[in-house]
Amino acid sequence: MPPPDAPAQASARYPRPLGIPVAVCFTAYQSEHGMPYWKIRPVRETYLPGNAAIELDESIVDRSYDLVIRKTGPAIFYETKVEPFLTKASVDTVIVTGVNTSGCIRASVIDSFQRGYRTIVPEGCVGDVEEGPHHDTLRDVERRHAELVTLDSVLSHLRSLGRNATGAHLSRRYRPVHEGRDKRAHAAPGKRPPLARNRAITESISGRTELMNAKTSSLPAERKRGSGVKLVYDMLRDEILKLTLPPGSPVDEVQL
């Protein structure tokens, strides 16, 4: 019982105008040697290059927008680029659609769940060759790993997000560099951004290096080297401890 065409097409097409990432996959192997343990004979005969069985339905894929991948296992995550693709887009929720419910859909739902994604399955957008395994799988994943919802509820939620649905999430985590530059000069001393803090450390080390040179300039040559190394060690030790210890900790009592 494959998913109806209209819901399947809607679930694939609707996220794109909202800027939501879409990944589309198909299963195929270079030869039958790549699937020696498949128990389903038609899989071994048809999941091969050039066979119509592995062709994507062009009504549900946009090759100029989607990540289109070939997979060699039931789960879309298995040895593919899907996870880096989702990570770069700051995705925290995955909507799984397709076929077969008891095979690739189940495996992809479990993999999504194991990777820490909130996983959603629109009931009208998945299907199977048999009705029994289809319903059994939906019952199981709803009890354990995913939220089983209607397509209408998914589309209604997406409409409420508007264009660039992932934009607000991205702006909190991946702010462009230029947006933060003007704030560095006004940051409180104890809350300086890393770049400003590193610059302060560099200036501190430079100043203490000048002091070290002044202290060792009058020493004999054989003592200059040893004294200079000791001063450099002490200087770097203090700066490292300032970064790693809580404020007010007794720096002099700590050994690196």
Name the one residue in this structure whose structure tokens are 């203090």.
238
Query: Among 78, 24, 77, which Cα is nearest to 55's?
Result: 24
Catalytic residue among 22, 82, 86, 104: 104
Name the one residue in this structure whose structure tokens are 């995550």.
77
DSSP string computed for the chain? -PPPHHHHHHHHHTTGGGT---EEEEE--SSGGG-TT---HHHHHHSSTT-GGG---TTS--TTTSEEEEESSSSTTTTSSHHHHHHHTT--EEE--EE-IIIIIHHHHHHHHHTT-EEEEEGGGEE-SSHHHHHHHHHHHHHHT-EEE-HHHHHHHHHHH-SSTTHHHHHHHS--HHHHHHHHTTS-GGG--HHHHHHHHHHHHHHHHHHHHHHHTTS-HHHHHHHHHHHHHHHHHHHHHHHHSPTT--GGG---
Is 125 designated active site?
A: no
**Which residues are part of the catalytic machinery?**
104
